Amino acid sequence: MFIKRKRGWEIPESEATPESVFLNRRTLMAGAAGLIGASALPRIALAEERPTSDLYPAPRNEGFVLDRDLTEESVAANYNNFYEFGSSKSVAAAAQRLEAWPWSVRIEGLVEEEQTLDVEALIRRMSLEERLYRFRCVEAWAMAVPWTGFPMADLVALARPLSSAKYVLMETFYEPTMAPGQRQIWYPWPYTEGLTIAEATNELTMMVTGIYGKPIANQFGAPLRLIVPWKYGFKSIKSIVAFRFVEERPMSFWEELAPQEYGFWANVNPDVPHPRWSQATERMLGTNERRDTLLFNGYGEWVADLYEGMERERLFA
Ligand SMILES: Nc1nc2c(c(=O)[nH]1)N[C@H]1C(S)=C(S)[C@@H](COP(=O)(O)O)O[C@H]1N2
Ligand SMILES: [Mo]
């Protein structure tokens, strides 16, 4: 495939998408055809009734303050990565086919007892709060949004992992009839991601169930997704169906596709460029304001000590 060399900041996001690294010409053309269809779709409004609507808005945790304005809801809700519904950013309409209620999640692997939990019941059992977080995609766009959810540490406590468990692997649903992107067989479906137990139980790590003071809309990964704000966005897996506690470091979706570009750690760092573009700055969705990228996306105070003594790992890619 012909790749025109440009400096990092010149690379348009259409070229900076992870897929351009491995897709051949035939699949690129198929993708382009999909894109034309998607761009003709209307912009999607948010927030119909959900079974958990009565829980929102949840009280805000004022311990997390932003250094920038919140991204407008209609902007964030119409610019998403959710490859299960297509590889364009305009997947909001397609994602309305996601059947997010009812939903259950499995807790399995190295735990005292494997369990299947109903997500509505799980959400009602947890204490929900709102947090304003920065969010930084590896493609160099960023937003700042009010997530609602609960600490992942509370889910890990409920799971009761054995001491032999070192990592938690998370998995998205696999339903190609509902999610047309999953018929694209060159991707290693289902989408998976992983964290160490220390990362999963860090204070910042959230299981997200709502956004903008309402139950989470489908395109953001309803009914339950991960948010790890100090890592590139691809780590924040959507629409989770399983949490598997394991001993070995798990392989994830993007790492399997392009290990040189999307590693396991993926901590945000302005000084470590992606192999094909700079990470020094980011573009805020909506305003297009350029801002300097922050080390650990500005969350070093919470997470830097997780990585002490690990200098030999590829922590930032
Ligand atoms: N299951 C699943 N989770 C996913 C993705 C995806 O395609 N499928 N995309 C990831 C990427 S690359 C980003 S940047 C964020 C985007 O989240 P948002 O659309 O809510 O902003 O979700 C992440 N989680
Ligand atoms: Mo991303």
Domain residue ranges of the chain, discontinuous segments joined by +: 13-307
Beta bridge partners, 29, equal: none
Q: What is the DSSP letter of 70?
A: P
| 141 Cβ below 6 A of ligand 1 | no
The two three-digit tokens of residue 15, written as one number: 């070229």
| 80 Cβ below 6 A of ligand 1 | yes
**Residue in 276, 281, 199, 273 with CA at minimum distance from that of residue 236:** 199
Give the CA distances from residue 264 to residues 40, 247, 312, in Å, rounded to whole numbers and listed in that order.
36, 15, 14
Distance, CA of 257 to CA of 195 (rounded, Å): 18
Q: Residues 14-54: pLDDT tens digits?
A: 444 444 443 333 344 444 444 444 444 445 544 568 999 99
Closest atom of ligand 1 to 191 CA is: 1
The band of 103, judged by pLDDT with boundaries at 50, 70 and 90, is: very high
Q: What is the mean pLDDT of the chain?
A: 89
| 17 Cβ below 6 A of ligand 1 | no
pLDDT > 50? residue 299? yes
| 234 Cβ below 6 A of ligand 1 | yes
Q: How far is CA 29 from the centre of its chain?
A: 26
Q: What percentage of residues in the chain have a pLDDT greater than 90?
A: 84
pLDDT at 24: 38
pLDDT > 80? residue 289? yes
pLDDT at 49: 87
Q: Name the pTM for this structure.
A: 0.88
Residue 233 CA to ligand 2 centre (angstroms): 4
| 82 Cβ below 6 A of ligand 1 | yes
Q: Residues 171-229: pLDDT tens digits?
A: 999 999 999 999 999 999 999 999 999 999 999 999 999 999 999 999 999 999 999 99
Give the CA distances from residue 27 to residues 80, 140, 184, 188, in Å, rounded to whole numbers and listed in that order.
21, 24, 9, 15
Class (C level, CATH) for 13-307? alpha beta
Lowest pLDDT segment from 32-41, 236-245, 274-283: 32-41
pLDDT at 43: 52
Best of 234, 239, 241, 274 to mutate for ligand 1, by most ligand atoms within 8 A of CB?
A: 234
Atom 11 (ligand 1): residue with closest C-alpha?
234
Q: Which residue has the higher pLDDT, 24 or 273?
A: 273
Q: What percentage of residues in the chain have a pLDDT greater than 70?
A: 85
Lowest pLDDT segment from 7-11, 41-45, 279-283: 7-11
Residue 15 CA to ligand 1 centre (angstroms): 17
The band of 310, judged by pLDDT with boundaries at 50, 70 and 90, is: very high
| 84 Cβ below 6 A of ligand 1 | yes
Distance, CA of 230 to CA of 303 (rounded, Å): 8
At 277 the three-state DSSP class reads strand
